[in-house]
Structure formats: structure tokens, C-alpha cells
Structure 1
Amino acid sequence: METVKVGMREFRADLAEYIASSTPVAITRHGQTVGYFIPTRGQGEADLAALKKASETLDKLLAAHSVDIEAIVTEFKTARRQAKKPKALGE
């Protein structure tokens, strides 16, 4: 894989572009390489897989305990509406 050499100032100025790229970057200072930035890929896919697994586990737990999700959502919405209402003086 090809590495791009850039100065430290350029690296800082264009950091968002380097993060979005899949190309490793050799960071230089006064012409000498002082470090490397190696972007990672696939982490988002691993996070998504973990969230899907957690969702499946939660679905199984809710089903095992006969939890009515619609009732919970309704209760949550009611609690939010009540929390947003301005309180009367003396409450």
C-alpha cells in the first residue's frame, strides 16, 4: 500500500480528508518522518454487528418477560409531555 508524505502543518490542516481516506500518511517535520497515520476500516461494521446482536438479545428478553413495547412507548411519551409542562407556582 502506498504511503503519502505530508508535513505536520499540512496534516493538521487537512486532517478530515486524511481520516476519510484509506491511504496511510507519513507525517514529516523538517523533512524527517516523525510519525504515521494509518486509517482503520471495518470498525463501523464490527460496531453494527455488535448492535444487531444486542438488539436480538433485547428482543428475546422482552419476549421472555412478556413486555408490551407499545405500552412502554406510550408511558414514556406521557412522562415526557408531563416533564415539558410548565409547573404552576407553589409546586
Structure 2
Amino acid sequence: MSMDTPKVGIRQFRAELAQFLASGTPVAVARYGQIVGYFIPTQGQLEANIAAFKKAGQTFGQILGAQGVDISPMMADFKGNSAQQITTKSK
């Protein structure tokens, strides 16, 4: 997979959302030239969505890695927050 993620403005993203959904390709969404988020489309039922989210996580890690971003601190925060939510829900 190429890490040349298309970058689009918010207006273009809104206007062409149906095409981005159909393409299945991740898109970097920018506001005034600054990336404010990534859209990684998923399709299907729960099991397919879980697989898609795993793939999206890998893709996002690759995108950030290609930009020289260390994802270790983010992963530690995510794992800590996930464990906290699971503990809270089971009480």
C-alpha cells in the first residue's frame, strides 16, 4: 500500500464523501492546509468492521511512521484508556 495518502480540504471532503466511501482509500482531511484528521472508510458487518479497524490502525501507524511520528506514546495512552474503560464497564 502506498503511503501517498490523498490530502483534501474539508469542503472537498464533504462534497465528495460518497466517492471517498466507495473508494475505500484513506484520505487526509485538511483545514487551511493543516491535516486535522484521517478518514479511513470501513464497510460490512461487525467482524468485517473489526478487521477493517485493525487494518485502519496499521495504515494510520504507517502514515504517521512515514511522517516520522513516534506512535509509542499514543499507543501507551490508548492502551491505558482502553483498560480503564473496560474496568469501568465491568463494575
**Is the shorter-chain TM-score for this pair beyond 0.5, marking a shared fold?**
no
TM-score after normalising by structure 1: 0.44
TM-score after normalising by structure 2: 0.44
